[in-house]
Every structure is written in structure tokens, then in C-alpha cells.
């Protein structure tokens, strides 16, 4: 029975990671069709909120027991934590404007070693030797995967900056998701966090697209950050009918549900290894659908990063002994 649960967990996490890995390719396609970052993120979060509201309503009606509610402190903390969820999507999609999807996903995966640093700060303990080696391998793999050695692929520093910001925000999302209000039902917790993320997304929509159309002072302030005014125009609502549904489904509804079902069965270590499928799926999708150039040296770097993730999450000898003792 235990093996069956583990297999179920691995399957759910793997499918969730693969679906999430497809997301950036659809974002890039939306850009090619003239949609802006504001329109992409707004449609994803609005339809994501609508979907989760429906799922929460169905769960509340069909549940045989009373579902837990957050107290006021938990509500505030989850909303605040959700801003990192909105930040991750926003920063990642901005990065995709400047650099290839295959490069952006590699930068997002820097959250692997970001999380090691954060964990060390929170626990006030230095990481063990295996984690240090894993971080070094991730960095080496990143150099190869972004082709910094040969520089056959041009790297826009704007894209690199926003890609690393996405990784930092993603790291924060992972830590808060695993520690805050764990007693709440999955749909309810996801809805609250997504509401917090929506505040960030709507603020960006106002600042980067809608606001500068009506307020000269805001436009002047905005021009301090960029000279690009092409996306200052009325909101294109057709995004909801073209890409919005796919982005919401693949970005804010299906993967979180699958992860929340899969991780408890697979375990955090094995689940983290399987979730790294997001990296090769994202690169392959960009290669097949977008025709992005992916060199052999980049694939070597991607394999190194995947190896580092596996190495970092393998159980130690002590953990194996404890696990064997519990089974016996």
C-alpha cells in the first residue's frame, strides 16, 4: 500500500511539474501575438481566482466535515506570503521578454541554492558538505546552461536580473507554503495566497499599462525606469479568450493541486527530485514550439543542475537508518 501511495505521489508531482514547465512557452507565444506582461499576468490570476473560488465552493458543499478557517493573523500572513507568488510570475514573465525561455527557466532554478542559503540563515547552521557540493554543481551547470563560456547566445542583463528576482521570490513562496497555516484545506489556502499575489499583479497593471495613460505624473515616473511605451494602452480583453484560460489552468490551478496531493505521498525529498522535471520540459517545449536554439553544452548544464537537485535531496545514512527502524 505504501509503494502505491509513493507511486501516486511521484505521478502527481511529475505531471504537475511538467504542466508548470509548459507555462513560459505559452507566455512567449502571447508576447508574439502582441499581448503585454500586465495582460498575461492579470488574465492568469483573475481566471485562477475564479477557478479556485468554484473549487472552494464545491469542496465546501460536498465536504462531510466542517473545513478549517484561518484566523485573522493567518489570513494576513497568507496574503502577505501570496505576494511572493504574484512576484514570481511577474518577474519570470518579465525575464522571458528579454531572454529565451530555456535561459529563464535555468535562472528560476537558482532557487535550489537560494533555498540552501535561506535555510542556513533561518536555522543558523552551516549547510552540510553534500549541500555545498550540490550548490557548486548548480552554479557550474548554470554557467554551461546559459552558455556563458562561449556566449553564442546573447544574454540581456535585464532578463538575467528579473530571472534571478523570480528565483528569489520563488524561494520565498516555497518556504511560506510549507510552513504557514498547514491545517487549512488546499483550495482555501491556495485561494488566499493567490488573492495576495493578485494585489501585486493588479498594482503592476496600473503602474505599467493603465495608469500612465491617464496620469502624466505617473507616466513621467514610469519613464525613469524604461523608455519603452509600446505597452501603455487600453487593456486587451481578448487575452481572456486566447491565452488566459491556459495560463490560469497551467499556472495557478492544476500544478498547486497536484503538488499538494503528490508531495504528502511522495515525500519532500523525492517530490523535489521529481518536480525538477519542470526544467527539461520547459527547455524542450521552447525548443519544439518556439524554435529556440539550445546547444549541446546547455543540455550538459541542465543535466548537471538536475543531478545536483537529486544529490541534495537524497536521504543521508542517518535518515535511512531512522526510516528502516520505523518500518521494522
Quick one: how far is CA 323 from the chain centroid?
31
Integer Cα distance of 146 and 294 in angstroms = 9
Whole-number pLDDT of residue 1: 40
Residue 222 has pLDDT above 90, yes or no: no
Name which residue leads in pLDDT, 281 or 2: 281
pLDDT > 90 in the chain, percent: 22
Q: For 10-69, what is each residue's pLDDT tens digit?
A: 888 888 888 888 888 999 999 999 999 999 999 999 999 999 999 989 988 888 788 888
pLDDT bin (cut points 50, 70, 90) of residue 161 is very high
Task: Give the residue-averaged pLDDT of 142-150.
Answer: 77
3-state secondary structure of 147: coil
pLDDT given for residue 237 in this prediction = 94
Lowest mean pLDDT among 80-89, 136-145, 211-220, 263-272: 263-272
Rounded Cα–Cα distance for residues 145 and 71 (Å): 45
The interaxial angle of helices 296-313 and 101-108, nearest 10 deg, is 20
pTM: 0.84
Q: Under DSSP, is residue 236 helix (H, G, I), strand (E, B) or coil?
A: coil
Per-residue pLDDT tens over the stretch 263-322: 767 765 566 677 778 888 888 888 888 888 888 888 888 898 888 888 877 766 655 555
pLDDT in tens, 166-177: 989 888 877 776
Q: Where are the domains of the chain?
A: 6-311
For residue 117, name the pLDDT band (cuts at 50, 70, 90): confident
Burial of 129 (0-12, 13-18, 19+ CB in 10 A): exposed
Question: Tens digits of per-residue pLDDT, 177-193?
Answer: 666 777 788 788 888 88
Amino acid at each position: 500500500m505504501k509503494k502505491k501511495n509513493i507511486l501516486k505521489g511521484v505521478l502527481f508531482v511529475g505531471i504537475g511539474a511538467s504542466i508548470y514547465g509548459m507555462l513560459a512557452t505559452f507566455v512567449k507565444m502571447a508576447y508574439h501575438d502582441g499581448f503585454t506582461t500586465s495582460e498575461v499576468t492579470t488574465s492568469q490570476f483573475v481566471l485562477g481566482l475564479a477557478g479556485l473560488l468554484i473549487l472552494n465552493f464545491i469542496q465546501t458543499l460536498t465536504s462531510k466535515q466542517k473545513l478549517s478557517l484561518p484566523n485573522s493573523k493567518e489570513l494576513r500572513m497568507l496574503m502577505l506570503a501570496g505576494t511572493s507568488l504574484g512576484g514570481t510570475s511577474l518577474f519570470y514573465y518579465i525575464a522571458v521578454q528579454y531572454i529565451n525561455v530555456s535561459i529563464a527557466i535555468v535562472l528560476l532554478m537558482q532557487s535550489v541554492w537560494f533555498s540552501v542559503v535561506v535555510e542556513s540563515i533561518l536555522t543558523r547552521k552551516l549547510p552540510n558538505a553534500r549541500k555545498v557540493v550540490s550548490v557548486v554543481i548548480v552554479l557550474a551547470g548554470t554557467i554551461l546552461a546559459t552558455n556563458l563560456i562561449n556566449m553564442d547566445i546573447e544574454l540581456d542583463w535585464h532578463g538575467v536580473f528579473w530571472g534571478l528576482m523570480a528565483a528569489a521570490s520563488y524561494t520565498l513562496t516555497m518556504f511560506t507554503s510549507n510552513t504557514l497555516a498547514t491545517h487549512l484545506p488546499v483550495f482555501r489556502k491556495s485561494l488566499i495566497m493567490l488573492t495576495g499575489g493578485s494585489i501585486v499583479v493588479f498594482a503592476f497593471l496600473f503602474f505599467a499599462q493603465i495608469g500612465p495613460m491617464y496620469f502624466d505624473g505617473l507616466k513621467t515616473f514610469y519613464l525613469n525606469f524604461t523608455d519603452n511605451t509600446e505597452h501603455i494602452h487600453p487593456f486587451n480583453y481578448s487575452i481572456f479568450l486566447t491565452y488566459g484560460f491556459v495560463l490560469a489552468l497551467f499556472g495557478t490551478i492544476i500544478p498547486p493541486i497536484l503538488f499538494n496531493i503528490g508531495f504528502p505521498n511522495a515525500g519532500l525529498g523525492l517530490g523535489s527530485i521529481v518536480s525538477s522535471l519542470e526544467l527539461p520540459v520547459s527547455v524542450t517545449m521552447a525548443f519544439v514550439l518556439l524554435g529556440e536554439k539550445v546547444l549541446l553544452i546547455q543540455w550538459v548544464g541542465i543535466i548537471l543542475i538536475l543531478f545536483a537537485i537529486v544529490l541534495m535531496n537524497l536521504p543521508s545514512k542517518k535518515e535511512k537508518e531512522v526510516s528502516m527502524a520505523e518500518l521494522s
